[in-house]
Amino acid sequence: MKTFTIKSLFFALIMFVGTSVFGQTIGVKQSDDGSGNCAVSIQVCYASAADVPASIVDGTYGAADLGGYKAKIIYNAGDRCFTVYYAGPCGVGLFAVKTIRLNMLSIGIDYSYENTLPIELLRFVAEYNKGTETVDIEFVTATQLNVESIELMRSYDQDVFEPIEIFTDVEDSAERNTYTVEDADIFGNKMYYQIRTTNLDGTVDLSSVITVTIDTEEVEVEVFPNPAVDKVSIKATQDGMVSIFNLMGAKVYEGNAFIGVNNYDLSNIPNGIYMVQFFGDKDQVITKRLVVSK
């Protein structure tokens, strides 16, 4: 079982007067983004409006890099809550926020992670294989202790799960063990998978849910001319949406895209390098680099 605590993780974007220590975890949510990574959001709130310092307003108060993954704190005045967002590898543990500290120059957050399964999960991924028209699932454990069985569960609606593979006679191990499963019973555009572990004492633990998008059609996107001056054309083999972002991540344009050639006006967009994202109607996301030079 692993536990770690990180302190003073985030740095504020504005200055505060005095120091305020508050908060306990009131909610933890961990959801898969479809690529084997998970987004975790944790809320910590003031008990009453009287507890909120006058300097605290809506907005993003800090961001940090945690092991190569991004984390940030956003405050919502409506519910008097800070929400901590962390995007990283899907885990099977429990995230718990202890306190958020507001100092004159920084925001600090104390939180812990505890692995709650009798298996320590290193990897849990799944992807659609167009060649075999199956979903290929793999999960890797670092340790296994007092485990009666490991079940790979499947759902078509993220509500009702059923076992598709059951591993019994699971031996205690401190070494890496790899499990692979091929699922041919596909239905709909999305499939959901979860690991269910039954302990020798009869208790049951569940991992986070991972999502697989069934991509049965390749989408092709072409951006031209590139560099562009006042107009750019985007040719797509699928309907969708087009968004253009600058290198700071700010969205400077958004519009519909249809099968064929779509023309977009860039007259109000200054010179620079931009990222064009095409969001297909079957959940595909294609990113292209665009240079605007007038």
Structure tokens at 123: 């990897």
Asked whether the domain spanning 221-292 has the same topology as the one spanning 119-213, the reply is yes
Beta-carbon neighbour count of residue 75 at 10 Å? 20
Q: Could you tell me the pTM of the whole model?
A: 0.41
Q: What is the pLDDT of residues 211-261, one digit of tens each?
A: 998 776 677 889 999 999 999 999 988 888 999 999 888 899 999 998 889
Residue with tokens 């409006």: 49
Give the per-residue pLDDT at 117.
55
Share of the chain above pLDDT 90, in %: 30
Alpha-carbon distance of 231 to 264, in angstroms, equals 6
Listed by start position, the domains of the chain span 3-114, 119-213, 221-292
Highest mean pLDDT among 87-101, 114-128, 186-200: 186-200
Give the lowest-confidence range in 25-34, 111-120, 157-166: 25-34
Q: Is the pLDDT of residue 90 over 60?
A: no
Q: Give the per-residue pLDDT at 291.
A: 94
With a cut of 70, say whether residue 159 has pLDDT above it: yes
Pick the CATH number of 3-114 from 1.10.357, 2.60.40, 1.25.40, 1.10.3470: 2.60.40
Q: Are 208 and 117 in contact (CB under 8 A)?
A: no
Q: Is the dihedral of CA 16, 21, 24, 28 positive or negative?
A: positive
Span 168-207, pLDDT tens digits: 988 888 788 999 999 998 877 788 999 999 988 888 888 8
- Going by C-alpha positions, the residue among 62, 64, 46, 42 that lies closest to residue 54 is 46
Give tens-digit pLDDT for 261-291: 999 999 999 999 999 999 887 667 888 999 9
What's the CATH class of domain 119-213? mainly beta
Report pLDDT for 285.
83
Q: Of all residues in the chain, what percent are helix, strand and coil, respectively (each to 5)?
A: 0, 60, 40
CATH of 221-292 given 3.10.520.10, 1.10.150.120, 2.60.40.3080, 2.10.25.10: 2.60.40.3080
Round to whole Å and give the CA distance between 148 and 170.
6
Comparing CA positions, the residue from 252, 259, 216 lying closest to residue 235 is 259
Quick one: pLDDT at residue 19? 32
